[in-house]
Amino acid sequence: MSTRTKEILVVAIVAALFLIFYLRKVFGAPPVLFPGTVSILVVSVIGLSLLWILIRTLAGRYVERRVVFLYVGIAVTLPLFMTLSQKVSVAPEVQGVFSSFEKLSAGSKVLVSFDYDPPSAPELQPMAEACLYYCFEHDLKVIIMGLWPQGPMQANLALQKVLNDERISQKNLQYGVDYVNLGFQAGNEFVIQRMGSEFRSMFPADFRGTPYEEIPLVTNIRNFSNIDYSFNIGSGYPGTREWVQIAVDRYGLKLGAGNTAVQTTEMYPYLRAGQLAGIVGGMSGAAEFEFLTKWIGNATKFMLAQSVAHMIVISFVIIGNVAFFVGRRTRERKS
């Protein structure tokens, strides 16, 4: 059988499997959950197979990169079927963000800036939902805006989910009174700069086209001095750095940050200097924030998969290094 035929056959079999699983879902079959013993068995099998990779690598036969890809895929997928629970330990920087929210009284105005796009959603969407849930539950007024064009769309998705939660839907929150989405503005840090003097100049209308002056929630909000707290959810440029440089350092805004893991490490100097109230970093930070705000979101659900994925990467690094050192010692002995 030629390689092309094998490829077509594999694609056909996989497509058929997907169709069967999909029809299974359509006809109401429940999701699959591994019981505790099966979960432990699966983890053990993954561990043993890593041992096999170690033996192969020591023998000088590095596994092909597609096998590594397969391992990563399995390491991320299988834990999502498992029922092992894990303890969430809250970092002080995440506690800092939550404590700032706790100090706000009912009716306080919170500016939430959605500065990210769909690729960063698995990390940032859970913290956005947790933030909105906490604000609505404690009667804080939320003003949403975005420096990224996809930000307001992500905000709408978060709002839909939180407003449909039964604890919040009972409150009958009103758009324009309890929350508002001002939409996106191009201009990066110049938008923040201009908001320092006047919000309306950068947001003449909300994302629905309602003029700024006709929105009850923001009628009396001229600039940052009328905002009690701001939470920036960002994944790059423009994002937290620009908010710190302008809104915090020049206009005295109190700011907490929610960042992707990649960006979080760069924000720690701002945290130490007191320019940030706290940082919710990556999916683990989002899980901790969900725990504190009591929002039942995706970040906590994904932490087991995150743990296993990290173990896999660490294992691969150790395997590669063990093989490297053993091989070096063998070469030194021979020479």
Partner 1 sequence: MDHFALWLAAFFTLGIYSFLYKDNPWYKLCEAIFVGISAGYWVVTLFWDNFHGKFWVHKFEDWWLWIGAALGVLMLMRLFPKIGWISRWALAFIVGATSGLWMMNYFSSNIMRQVQDAVLPLFGTGFEASFGAILANIVVAVGTIAGLVYFFFSKEHKGVFGGTARVGILFLMVTFGASFGYTVMGRMSLLIGRIDFLFSDWLGLIR
Partner 2 sequence: MRRAVPLVITTIVGATFVIRYFIPHYPFNRLNDWFSDWFAIVAACAIVLGALNLMRISIQKVVRGKPAWGYSLVTIVAFLLITIVGLAAGREYRGPDTAFSWLYNNTYSPLSSSMFAILAFFVASASYRAFRARNLEATLLLLAAFFVMLGRVPVGYVLSSFMPDGYRLTDLAVWIMNVPNTAGQRAIMIGIALGIVSTSVRVIVGIERTYLGGD
Footprint of partner 1 on this chain (CB under 8 A)? 18, 21-22, 24-26, 29, 31-33, 66, 69, 72-73, 76-77, 80-81, 119-123, 149-150, 152, 183-186, 189-190, 193, 201, 203-205, 207, 209, 211, 242, 244-246, 248-250, 260-262, 264-265, 269-270, 272-275, 281-284, 298, 302, 305-306, 309-310, 313
Which of partner 2, partner 1, none lies near 316, with the C-beta cut-off 5 to 8 A by kind? partner 2
Distance CA 332, CA 318 (A): 21
**In the structure encoding, which two tokens stand for residue 328, read together?**
């070096």
In angstroms, give the least distance from the CB of 37 to partner 1.
19
In angstroms, give the least distance from the CB of 107 to partner 2.
28
**57 versus 181: smaller Cβ distance to partner 1:** 181
Distance CA 10, CA 29 (A): 26
**143 versus 244: smaller Cβ distance to partner 1:** 244
In angstroms, give the least distance from the CB of 139 to partner 2.
25
Phi-psi region for residue 7, left (φ > 0), alpha (ψ -120 to 50) or beta? alpha
Distance CA 61, CA 41 (A): 27
In angstroms, give the least distance from the CB of 312 to partner 1.
9
Distance CA 335, CA 332 (A): 5
In angstroms, give the least distance from the CB of 263 to partner 2.
11
Cis peptide bond upstream of 238, omega within 30:
yes
**In the structure encoding, which two tokens stand for residue 162, read together?**
């939180």
Which of partner 1, partner 2, none lies near 252, with the C-beta cut-off 5 to 8 A by kind? none
**81 versus 311: smaller Cβ distance to partner 2:** 311
In angstroms, give the least distance from the CB of 53 to partner 2.
9
Helices (H), the chain: 3-26, 36-58, 65-77, 92-102, 121-137, 151-163, 166-169, 189-195, 199-202, 240-242, 261-272, 282-293, 298-334
Instruction: Considering only the C-alpha atoms of the chain, give the largest distance between any 2 of them, rounded to a whole number of Å.
Output: 83
Q: β-strand 141-146 against 109-115: which pairing, if any?
A: parallel
Which of partner 2, partner 1, none lies near 54, with the C-beta cut-off 5 to 8 A by kind? none
**42 versus 205: smaller Cβ distance to partner 2:** 205
**Between helices 282-293 and 92-102, what is the axis angle to 10°?**
40
**123 versus 178: smaller Cβ distance to partner 2:** 123
Which of partner 2, partner 1, none lies near 25, with the C-beta cut-off 5 to 8 A by kind? partner 1
Contact yes or no for 104/228 (Cβ under 8 A): yes
In angstroms, give the least distance from the CB of 251 to partner 1.
12
Distance CA 40, CA 23 (A): 29
3 state DSSP class of 225 = helix
Residues that bind partner 2 (CB under 8 A): 62-63, 65, 68-69, 71-73, 76, 86-89, 91-93, 117-122, 150, 152-153, 156-157, 160, 185-188, 190-191, 193-194, 197-198, 201-202, 205, 207-209, 265-266, 268-269, 271-272, 282, 284, 303-304, 306-314, 316-317, 319-321, 324
Residue whose token pair is 């994002």? 239
